[in-house]
Structure 1
Amino acid sequence: MALRITVIGTGYLGATHAAAMAELGFEVLGLDVVPEKIETLARGEVPMYEPGLEELLRKHVAGIEGSTGRLRFTTSWEEVGEFGDVHFVCVNTPQKHGEYACDMSYVDSAFASLAPQLRRPALVVGKSTVPVGSATRLAKLLTELAPAGEDVELAWNPEFLREGFAVQDTLHPDRIVVGVAGERGEKLLREVYATPVGEGSPFVVADYPTAELVKTAANSFLATKISFINAMAEVCEAADGDVVKLAEAIGHDDRIGKKFLRAGVGFGGGCLPKDIRAFMARAGELGADQALTFLREVDSINMRRRSHMVELAREAVGGDFLGRRVAVLGATFKPDSDDVRDSPALNVAGQIHLQGGQVTVHDPKGMANARRLFPTLAYADTALEACRGAHVVLHLTEWGEYRQLDPAVVGAVVAERHVIDGRNALDAARWRSADWTFRALGRPKA
């Protein structure tokens, strides 16, 4: 009999995982405690922007004409318990308010609600990013609360999704990591992931702590690499060097590589910032805080980039934002997403606004979310409209459409031709040839 899968939590991670499991041929039941979210998904619609996800969802959601019908949604824990052989827990683990530590309340609540419904053998699989040691605690909780007792096993299977590529990363992962306590959990997960493993995706079997550490270690390494090149940008500016050429040169070294070496306003989003802070907090609890003190500087460099962008913008408008108009191109933390969580672009826009600047923001996909987070900023429907009357234009999210802007056309609507490239993605020569003053982080002024 084919495995039946449930997905607990249908946010960004859960909705993607549920649709992908249906694509792999499984019968899937997704659960969320927010009825409105379930209603939206049941119509084949997604509450966030992720390329390819809505199409994949509509291909499988029951009740949609032409779909496979393999994917349904519910708010009933009892239905989930009766339906599933493998239960994936995909709920959020945000940063605690006012602390570095991870908020485990959503994960704990999900396990506490699911366990009493497990009356037959089942595998519960955690996918949320959690502090190391959580899986051992939750495995014990499952045994205590589940009617099936020790016939309910736990595995930990961290996610490695990149926003903008989440569907691809789920269906064709670059690695699958599973933390298991026994052979049965490994066997079931090999069955779940048989298709990508058959296509060549590595399948790494580990213990609970190692599997939990993989995600935070990976994110910490990526954050460190980004902050390293941004630290080099600071040195380049002081020495009148070019961080783009520097990154190109060191990127040819196979030991270093070219990826994540673009200097700019730094990283943001819902993962890297909170994950490295939670990692530091957990290391402190374990008595290993000295091992991760370098991450404090990684975090500090990242936040300093945002402040430096504000300083460059202030300099460009004459030293004072009062009465000056600032165009901000980009609101999301990265392109191909509508995610504005801890967005460097919006952080910079907000700082300038607080200092008296008249800020107008444009973003291809993140406007609605940005408005909810920063309702006092002005927003424009097009990039050109955002630039109208501006004394400086800030390029802060590297959407492809911004690279295609015609500097002459933009120059006709601004008050002054000053542009600052916070992502090192614009063609400096092209903008300068159209009589713009062009600045970019870590690059010579001319």
Structure 2
Amino acid sequence: MAPKITVIGTGYLGATHAAAMAELGFDVLGLDVVPEKVESLSHGKVPMYEPGLEELLRKHVAGIEGSSGRLRFTTSFEEAGEFGDVHFICVNTPQKHGEYACDMSYVESAFTSLAPQLRRPALVVGKSTVPVGSAARLAELLVELAPAGSDVELAWNPEFLREGFAVEDTLHPDRIVVGVAGERAEKVLREVYATPIGEGTPFVVADYPTAELVKTAANSFLATKISFINAMAEVCEAADGDVAKLAEAIGHDDRIGKKFLRAGVGFGGGCLPKDIRAFMARAGELGVDQALTFLREVDSINMRRRSHMVELARESVGGSFLGQRVAVLGATFKPDSDDVRDSPALNVAGQIHLQGGQVTVYDPKGMDNARRLYPTLAYAPTALDACRGAHVVLHLTEWREFRELDPAELGDVVAAQRILDGRNALDAGTWRAAGWTYRAMGRPRA
């Protein structure tokens, strides 16, 4: 008989995981402490934009016509404990205010609320990104608080979701990593993930610390690669080189690869920045902070790119933003998402606004979230409206919609045909041929 699954925490990670588990054929109960979120999900509506997620949710949520009925939602830990055989913990682990360290309060709360309800053998599976060493401590906490005692086991199964591809990454992951302390936990997880394993997805079995380190190590490597090419962009600007050609050339080396070698305003979002900072903080606690000092420079390079874009924009309008209209195309930290957390685009827009620029922002999906975070900026309903009367246009999120803009049509509404490509994603030749002054980080001026 297939195990019944609960998913504790139904934000971006949890909602996706719950819907995917139902798609794989399991009966699933999602839990969240926010009643409004549970109510929304119970009607097949997701609180964020993620391609394909709402359709998948509606395919399985009980009560929706034509659904499988395999997925329900609740606010009750008692109901979750009674229902589930496998409990996935998918709550948030944000950065602590004023510190680099990870805030474990949501994870701690999930464990202390769930454990007293576990009265029979069960497997609790952590998916949240936590500091190394957390799993061993939480495993002891489960045994201490659960009525079933040592019959409740813990596994750690880090998530590797890319926003914009979360459904695909959950149903068809490039690898599954599990940190376990015994064979029973491994056997259960092999059953849960039988479909992707059968499709050929590698299943990596490790101990707790290694499984915890995989996510932060992977994110640190990607952040380092992004900051490396952005550092090369700084050198290219000083030496009059072309970072795009440089990236193309080194990307042909199989040891390096082409991915994550596009220079620009850097990375943001809810994972990479906070994960590398939490990794540094934990390394310090373990007494090996020198091993990760390079991540401080990775973080510094990343933040420096935002300030550099502001400098380029100021220079393009004559040295001062006062009286200048600035169009910002993009608000989310990446395309195919409505996530504006630590968004380079909004950070740049905010800096320019504080320096006196009249900033108007447009984004295909992130407008509502951007307004909540930056209410003093102006927002437009279309890219064309955002650019109307602008003295400079900043392309800061690489949405397909922006790559397909007509430079001639845009040129008719701006006050000056100047565009700064903060993502190195536009066709420089096309824009210049239409009469625009085009500039991108690490690229020759003409």
Q: TM-score range by the shorter chain?
A: over 0.9
CA deviation profile, 1:292-345 (whole Å, cap 9, x unmatched): 000000000000000000000000111000110000000000000000000000
User: What is the rounded CA distance, in whole Å, between the counterparts of 2:392 and 2:318 in structure 1?
Assistant: 10
Deviation at 1:273, TM superposition (A): 0.1
Kindly report the root-mean-square deviation, in angstroms, between the aligned alpha carbons of the 2 structures. 0.3
Deviation at 1:183, TM superposition (A): 0.3
Matched, 1:440 2:430: no
CA deviation string 1:394-433 (max 9, x = no partner): 0000000101111111010000111000000001011111
Describe the superposition over 1:147-204 as per-residue Cα deviations: whole angstroms up to 9, x where unpaired.
0000000000000000000000000000000000000000000000000000000000
2:158 is aligned to 158
Counterpart code for 1:173: P
Q: Matches of 1:287 and 1:201 in 2, distance apart? A: 36
Report the Cα distance in structure 2 between the residues aligned to 1:430 and 1:260, rounded to whole angstroms: 24
The Cα shift of 1:435 comes to 1.0
Structure 1 letter corresponding to 2:241: G
Superposition pairs of residues 199-210 of structure 1, within 5 angstroms: 199-210=199-210
Shift of 1:2: 1.7
Matches of 2:342 and 2:397, distance apart in 1:
13
> Can you list the C-alpha shifts for 1:228-254, whole angstroms capped at 9, x where unaligned?
000000000001100000000000000
Q: State the alpha-carbon separation in 1 of the partners of residues 437 and 51 from structure 2.
A: 35
Q: Secondary structure at the match of 2:109?
A: helix
Paired residue for 1:373?
373
The match for 1:216 is 216
In 2: Cα distance, 1:195 partner to 1:412 partner: 54
- The whole-number CA distance in structure 2 between the counterparts of 1:206 and 1:401 is 42
Q: Distance in 2 between matches of 1:428 and 1:261?
A: 18
TM-score normalised over the length of structure 2 = 1.00
Which runs of no fewer than 5 residues in structure 1 stay unpaired?
A: none
| CA distance, structure 1, for counterparts of residue 315 and residue 414 of structure 2 | 17
Which residue number corresponds to residue 327 of structure 1? 327
Residues 385-396 of structure 1 correspond to what in structure 2 (within 5 A)? 385-396=385-396
The aligned residue for residue 45 of structure 1 is 45
- The residue that corresponds to 1:29 in the other structure is 29
Kindly state the Cα deviation for residue 284 of structure 1 after the two structures are TM-superposed: 0.1
- Aligned twin of 2:240: 240
Counterpart of 1:124 in 2: which secondary structure?
Answer: strand
Gaps of 5+ in 2: none
| Structure-2 separation of matches of 1:349 and 1:297 | 24
Task: State whether structure 2 residue 169 is matched by structure 1 residue 173.
Answer: no
Q: Which residue is 1:257 aligned to?
A: 257
Corresponding residue number in structure 2 for 1:90: 90
Match of 1:16 in 2: 16
Task: Give the C-alpha shift of residue 434 in structure 1.
Answer: 1.0
User: Which secondary structure state, in structure 1, belongs to the residue aligned with residue 372 of structure 2?
Assistant: helix
TM-score (norm 1): 1.00
Structure 2 counterpart of 1:441, one-letter code: M
Cα distance in 2 for partners of 1:363, 1:438 equals 21
Identity %: 89
Name the CA distance, whole Å, in 1 between partners of 2:382 and 2:77. Answer: 44
Superposition deviation, residue 35 in structure 1 = 0.1
Equivalenced residue count is 446
Amino acid at match of 1:319: G
- CA drift of 1:51 comes to 0.2
Aligned to 2:67: 67
Q: Distance in 1 between matches of 2:426 and 2:360?
A: 20
SS at 1:258 equivalent: coil
